[in-house]
Each structure stands twice: as C-alpha cells, then as structure tokens.
Chain A
C-alpha cells in the first residue's frame, strides 16, 4: 500500500543524503520525495511516498526516528491528507490542435504557461492520481518533455505536524 510520510528534519547539509541512504540501505523503495524549508528556516520538511506493508512502514518510521537530525516522523493516512504534486509538460501543439488542448486544460484544472510555434507548455497541480489522468489525455498530442515534483502533503482540518518552538 502507498503511504505518505512527512518528516521534519534539521535544515543541515547532508540530511537528505542520510535519509535517502537509509531508504536504499534498508531496501525501502521510494516512489517520490520532495523537500523544502518550512516557516521555521532551521527546519526542512520532507514528504516521501513509499510502498510497503505495515511491518516495513513501522520499521521505516523507527529507523528514520533514529537519525539524529530527524525531528519528527508521521505517516499520514490516505483519507486525512491533502496531497499535491506539480507537473510541467511540453507537448506538440500545432495551431489547429490548440483550442482542443485548451479545453482539456480548462476542464482538468491545468494552465497554459508557454507557447511556441509548434509547442505548448502546460502546468498542473493536483494529486498524482489526477496528474496521471491528465497525462493520459494529453499523451495523444505527443509529449516532448515532462517533469513532475514529488508529492507534498498536509493534514486536513486543524491538525498539524509541528515542533514546539524552543
């Protein structure tokens, strides 16, 4: 089962390599990984989507917690989170196809962010499931280049993963 794991870490050089090293060393597969600084500049937040059973995930959480620079680890349940992933995609778009593409873009909640004589560049931010559907729809036009960030996620409602300020 796919799980989303949020990790708060000290914003130090080398933390990311310790974390990715831990995953590969212990044989955990990462589907996606996204990292960025939080409102507290001394803390970064890493979101990892990984596949695994109950046992693997529990081990993973415990092993992550053992890293000295890991402040907090939380596996977010799929129904309690809001997840987003960003995709930029450049597709073949001759002028006669453009309005058709624009309709898809509109319905799917994407944006056209650049144009050239022969191509269009689209941007979409949504769940990775939604992004996959969008990809299906634009594939027939010919994808030239595609880039996705990893998923980032936050809890629904008032709950939060935070660190007590020192």
Chain B
C-alpha cells in the first residue's frame, strides 16, 4: 500500500471525521487518498485558520483534531495556530508535507524547516524519514497530543515517504519509556488537601482551562457543593461552572470582575485546579502566597511552583484527583464566607451609548441571557474579549477564546471548527473589526461548506484595545489604530451570500439578538456599531 493511503487510514483508525487543510505539491499524495476516504476535508482560505478550526474542533470533542498543510509557506502559515494551541494546551495533530528527503537541507523550492520553526510551540514533533515508522509515529502523535497536558504534535512527511510502498498495519497501543503522564494523585497529598479544606474558614476554588480539558466540571461542582466552597475562574476556565450559578463569582484577573478578585485576596485557602496562574490572572502571586494557603492541582508538574509558591502541590489528572478528594473531604458549610462574597457582587449598570452606537457590554449581557443553554460562544481578542468575558455567562455550553497567546482572528475559524464538532449547538463568534479583517476570508469556507455560525463584529473603527492603552499610558497619542479603509461588512457578507445586518440602536440590537440565538441552520453576520471611545472598564 502507498504510505499516503496508509496515512489516511491511520486517521480513520483514530476516529477522525473532519480535517482542516490547504493542499500543495508536497502533500498531494496524501490528498489523493484523502479524497477516497470518508473523512470530510474542510478547505480553508489560509492555513492559520486550518489550525484554529482544528483547535475549535478539538476543544469541543476534547480529542486531537487534525489540520494539514503543504511544505514551506503552507507549513509556516500554520505556526501562529500551532503556538495558539500550545499556549492553551489544545490537542492537535498537524500533518505537513515536506520536500523529498534527499533534497532536505538544500534550500530547494518550498523547503522550510517547520520542525525547527515550530519547536518552541509543539508538545512534540516528528520528521518521518522512513515510511516504515509511519504507523508508530501516527499512533504516538495522537497519544502524545491527547494525553497528559494536551498539546499540538507535528508530523512532517517528505513527499517521497508518502509515495513509498509499505505494509499496512496500525498499532493498538504505543508505549514510550520517556513519556508516562501521571494521572492519579499521590494519596498522601490528597489527604493533606482534604485536611486543609477541613481547616479553612474562607476557602476558594480557582479553576483554569485544565479542568475543562480533564472533563472534570461535574466533579468540581460536587466538591464545591460538598465543602460549600465558592468558585472563581480564569479566562480559560470560564464555563467550568455556569456563570449563572450561585457558587460562581466570575472571572479573576486584570480584566476580571471585582467580586472574584476580592475573593482571591480575602480567602484563607486558595485551591488552584488546572490553572497556571498566568500574569493576567493573578497580579502578584508571591504576595498572595504570603497570606494565603495555596493548593495547586495540575497535570503538569512544571506548572506547580512556576508562578506561585505552593503549600500543597498535587500532580495528576484533575478528574481523578477530584474523585479522590470527594472520597475524603468532609461535608461542611461556609455560610458567612459565602454571604460576604455575595455581598460583593455588583449588578452591572449600563450607560446609554451615543446616537448611532450601542453599548457592547449591554448587548453581550442580553445576548447571554437570551442564548440557548448549549451555546458555544467564541470570543476574539481585544476590548471585545474583555466585554465578552465579563458579560457572557456560560450556561451549559462553552466559552472559547485564545487565552494564552491572545491571537487576533481566532474566533471565526475556531467557531467553524466548534460548529463542525457539535452540529446541534448554536455557535456564536464575537470579534472586533480589526480581528475580523484578519479572518474574514473564512466567510468563503463558511459558505462553501455550509457552516451555520453566527458572527458578531464589534465595529469601533479602531484597534480598540491598543487605542485604550495609548489613551491611558501614552497621553492619548493614537498611533496606527484607526481602521479607516475597512470595507462595509454588510456588503462584504452579502458578497459571500451570507445574511448580514447592522445594529445601531437598542431596537436593532434586540432584533439582532433574536436572530443570533436562533439555531436555524443559517450563517449570519451582525455588525454592532460601537463608540470608538468605549472602554473595557
């Protein structure tokens, strides 16, 4: 069998139903056989988006998703998406074509060392020099990407390797002596954690993206209930507990809500789960650790103690650890502490926007209330990301965003991937007018493959987040932030035959929300006019 055909079969063996990619000469043998399989190929309009689409798909299925590019420029166009997935621990297998093995190192046409270029952003990578190693390489790639702390794995396959003849086989299992992710928590440490919880008067749980990727949200809630502990989240942890739940105080951090941040400073025991205590999440972790007992539960031992000094480290899979904890933690009440925190909650007050504009915070808040409980909401980067993370509250769905890398242009392609992974869930991408222009070519992908996502563009005619920074820190010297010259997004969507309309006041806002929450199988673009001086605060 041609190795290229075997590669397609490995993907089938891994249960892959959809792949995202962009072809080119060096990956043509693979595409030749891909066409003969049941796997659906989504042709993107830029390789970066193939990566983000796989990212969205993977975050919903919680399994490695696949994207494909050709050698040289194709592979290099994927780098931003690979780094984005790496920063958020998203499992992906990236397949790139490479020039013929005997040509490698001679700077031939479309040769690029993608393995070298992507090295800082991959969990692991393989350059396949011998077709005989392909079965084991694919098996390892999926295993590495989808276990332990998940992440992207790159397989670079020279065209002659794809063309060679091999016997078909695919291993059931692989074992690597140097890769054995821990899953169960050390039982002694588990007991120490339980004891600390029993002792605490003002305990607080802070969860990050790790809890979602470990599929441990139920167990988390059970623990919060059993020991009566309030929960805050990082941006990546949003949705682990419903934002409408009484136990959830919201998102912490530089852009978080004050009640959640106050809870972090006031608690006497902070239980971090699957959160890496990034600089945007906890401002002065060392200071915090001086007055607060810290428990850190994470699958990646390197995260423990990296950003915050820890009293009780506990390495392992959070789902397993939470189950271990549920066995030993005693039932307890913290009425006073919870009351105190509840008194810190503030109902938002929305100021009226000027004529021709809407208040984006109010819009998102209303959208949140109206949205179906299973909605997958994808937030882009910029002011709109802050508005989204502050005012969209997840019910039973998801909140996806590029938390670690903050990659503009993530939301539209991620939403495409998410929609394909969960066709019954409504998917809404919310982005700025800057980021939209980094990803709007995907409207063609949406049209071509009939992917009914809803897109909201917050149009402030600015790179608003940078503008806000310049206003605050650079005496309002607004440099290179005007988006003058942008197209009419409504006409643009119409050019792609995608329904679109503009929101300029409360009435049209309500109409838009009604349409956005409709799970009618139609794509839709809504442009919300936002004042250029609107801020995140």
Contact = CB atoms under 8 A, between A and B. Distances in A.
The yes or no verdict on A and B being binding partners is yes
Interface of A: 9-10, 13-14, 17-18, 21, 25, 55, 58-59, 62-63, 65-71, 163, 166
12 contacts: A9-B178, A18-B119, A21-B120, A25-B120, A55-B305, A59-B305, A62-B302, A62-B306, A66-B300, A67-B178, A70-B178, A71-B177
8 closest cross-chain pairs (CB), A and B: A62-B302, A71-B178, A68-B124, A68-B179, A62-B301, A63-B302, A25-B120, A21-B119
A43 to B, nearest CB: 9
Interface in B66-121: 115-116, 119-120
Contacts of A67: 178
A13 B156 CA distance: 14
Contact of A17 (B119, B123, B301): B119
B302 A65 contact: yes
A117 B386 CA distance: 76
Given A17-B116, A18-B119, A21-B120, A69 B178 contact: yes
A166 B175 CA distance: 11
A17 B119 CA distance: 9
Given A10-B178, A62-B301, A62-B302, A68 B116 contact: no
Nearest to B119: A21
Nearest to B127: A14
A68 B300 CA distance: 13
B144 interface: yes
B306 A59 contact: yes
A160 B149 CA distance: 30
B176 interface: yes
A66 B177 contact: no
Contacts of B176: 68
A10 B496 CA distance: 51
A22 to B, nearest CB: 9
B154 to A, nearest CB: 12
Contact of B302 (A21, A59, A70): A59
A67 B179 CA distance: 8
Interface string B134-151: 000000000010000100
A162 to B, nearest CB: 12
Contacts of A65: 301-302
Contacts of A17: 116, 119
Interface in B348-363: none
Contact of B177 (A14, A18, A21, A166): A166
Contacts of A70: 178
A71 B119 CA distance: 19
B178 A68 contact: yes
B302 A14 contact: no
Nearest to B175: A166
Contacts of A18: 119
A70 B149 CA distance: 16
B86 to A, nearest CB: 12
Interface in B172-201: 176-179
B115 A14 contact: yes
A72 B314 CA distance: 21
Nearest to A58: B305
Give the interface centre of B124, B127, B176, B302 by most chain A CB atoms within 10 Å: B302
Contacts of B306: 59, 62
A3 to B, nearest CB: 17
Given A58-B305, A62-B302, A63-B302, A68 B177 contact: no
Contacts of B127: 13-14
B447 to A, nearest CB: 40
B79 to A, nearest CB: 15
Contacts of A62: 301-302, 306
Contact of A68 (B144, B301, B305): B144
A61 to B, nearest CB: 9
A64 to B, nearest CB: 9
Contacts of A63: 302
A25 B120 CA distance: 8
Given A68-B178, A70-B178, 20 more contacts: A10-B178, A14-B127, A17-B116, A17-B119, A21-B120, A55-B305, A58-B305, A59-B302, A59-B305, A62-B301, A65-B301, A65-B302, A66-B149, A66-B300, A67-B178, A68-B176, A68-B179, A69-B178, A71-B178, A163-B177
Nearest to B148: A66
Contacts of B305: 55, 58-59
A17 B177 CA distance: 20
Nearest to B176: A68
Nearest to B149: A66
A65 B180 CA distance: 10
Interface in B302-328: 302, 305-306
Contacts of B301: 62, 65
Contacts of B119: 17-18, 21
A17 B306 CA distance: 24
Nearest to B116: A17
Task: Report which residue of A14, A17, A25, A63 has the largest number of chain B beta carbons within 10 angstroms of its beta carbon.
Answer: A14
Nearest to A165: B177
A71 B175 CA distance: 13
Given A10-B178, A14-B127, A66 B120 contact: no
B471 to A, nearest CB: 33
B24 to A, nearest CB: 24
A45 B357 CA distance: 65
Contacts of B300: 66
Contacts of A69: 178
Contacts of B144: 68
A137 to B, nearest CB: 43
A68 B123 contact: yes
Nearest to B178: A71
B178 A66 contact: no
Interface string B276-317: 000000000000000000000000111001100000000000
B188 to A, nearest CB: 20
